[in-house]
Amino acid sequence: MTGTEAALHAEPAAAIAGAAGDLVRLRAWRDADRAPFAALNADAEVMRHFPAPLSPAQSDAMIDRIVAHHHRHGFGLWALEVDGRFAGFVGLSTATFDAPFTPAVEIGWRLARWAWGRGAATTAARRVLDAAPRFGVDEVLSFTATSNARSAAVMRRIGMVRDADSDFEHPNVPEGSALRPHVLYRWRPSAPPPTTRERGMPPSA
Ligand SMILES: CC(C)(COP(=O)(O)OP(=O)(O)OC[C@H]1O[C@@H](n2cnc3c(N)ncnc32)[C@H](O)[C@@H]1OP(=O)(O)O)[C@@H](O)C(=O)NCCC(=O)NCCS
């Protein structure tokens, strides 16, 4: 492994990473991801539902924050590969901005345009949601600008449920911006089926 290929934090468990040869893989970030990540963060279409595209320096700083989050929490936004090529991220992050539902753990995704339309975000996000309880996360949220239909579609595909009562104005988006109103979706792991004792039935029933 060369210096640029070294993982910047722990690799995810196999249940999150996927199996060798899968179309979609999740892995730890590497310094080699900085250039393709800067390219997708500079793409106006990828960043259409954010206030602005990111400069290379802002993109690098985001990777540094993501890596620090992994070190601090033991989970985070993982680097995504599609067909063996870096394509963006899917994963979990802590939301701490001021809102009635924070602090919370959110699931998020950002893919280069060439990787859209193949189910890659959905495939990776399903793995991440399934694994969330192992990080002690008992509820996962996701939110996006009201206009971001593609992102909300991923939320619904992975089984998240809209909580319209919790839709909100994102405090980090300037007032008056069309991107400020956000929709909020929630997910909890399904409860295990009740035991016979919990159902109040005799053990042999
Ligand atoms: C949001 C985003 C990740 C969605 O990507 P996506 O590729 O549309 O999402 P999915 O992985 O669910 O793929 C769904 C598409 O793949 C198709 N598809 C093919 N195989 C599929 C499969 N096995 N499972 C699900 N969908 C599949 C679906 O039909 C759908 O096609 P469509 O584009 O014609 O509707 C992507 O648009 C993106 O990165 N946007 C920019 C960043 C952003 O806005 N992030 C969210 C901020 S909150």
Query: How many CB atoms are closer than 10 A to CB 179?
Result: 17
The rounded Å distance from CA 154 to ligand 1 centre is: 6
Residue ID of nearest Cα to ligand 1 atom 26: 119
Residue 132 carries which side chain, given as an amino acid letter? A
Distance CA 35, CA 172 (A): 26
pLDDT in tens, 12-38: 999 999 999 999 999 999 999 999 999
Task: Give the model's pLDDT for residue 181.
Answer: 98
Residue ID of nearest Cα to ligand 1 atom 43: 110
Enumerate residues 6+ apart whose C-beta is below 8 A from 131. Answer: 12, 13, 15, 16
118 lines ligand 1 (CB under 6 A): yes
Ordered domains of the chain (ranges, CATH): 3-187 (3.40.630.30)
CB-side exposure of 36: number of CA atoms within 13 Å?
20
Please state, rounded to an integer, the average pLDDT across all residues of the chain.
93
Q: Evaluate the CA torsion angle 120, 123, 127, 129 in order and state its sign.
A: positive
Is 184 a residue whose pLDDT tops 50? yes
Burial group, residue 16, by CB count within 10 angstroms (0-12, 13-18, 19+) = buried
Task: Give the model's pLDDT for residue 193.
Answer: 58
The rounded Å distance from CA 121 to ligand 1 centre is: 6
Is 2 a residue whose pLDDT tops 60? no
The rounded Å distance from CA 202 to ligand 1 centre is: 48
157 lines ligand 1 (CB under 6 A): yes
pLDDT in tens, 94-117: 999 999 999 999 999 999 999 999
Distance CA 186, CA 2 (A): 41
The rounded Å distance from CA 109 to ligand 1 centre is: 10
Q: Kindly indicate the confidence band of residue 191, based on its pLDDT and cuts at 50, 70 and 90.
A: low
Task: Give the model's pLDDT for residue 190.
Answer: 79
Which of 57-61, 160-164, 170-174, 186-190 has the lowest average pLDDT? Answer: 186-190
pTM, 2 dp: 0.93
Residue ID of nearest Cα to ligand 1 atom 13: 119
The rounded Å distance from CA 60 to ligand 1 centre is: 25
pLDDT in tens, 54-84: 999 999 999 999 999 999 999 999 999 999 9
Residue ID of nearest Cα to ligand 1 atom 22: 119
pLDDT in tens, 112-150: 999 999 999 999 999 999 999 999 998 999 999 999 999
The rounded Å distance from CA 153 to ligand 1 centre is: 8
> Beta-strand (E) ranges in the chain?
24-27, 77-82, 85-95, 104-111, 140-145, 161-162, 168-169, 181-187
Query: How many CB atoms are closer than 10 A to CB 138?
Result: 10
Residue 71 carries which side chain, given as an amino acid letter? H
Which DSSP letter does residue 141 get?
Answer: E
Task: Give the model's pLDDT for residue 204.
Answer: 46
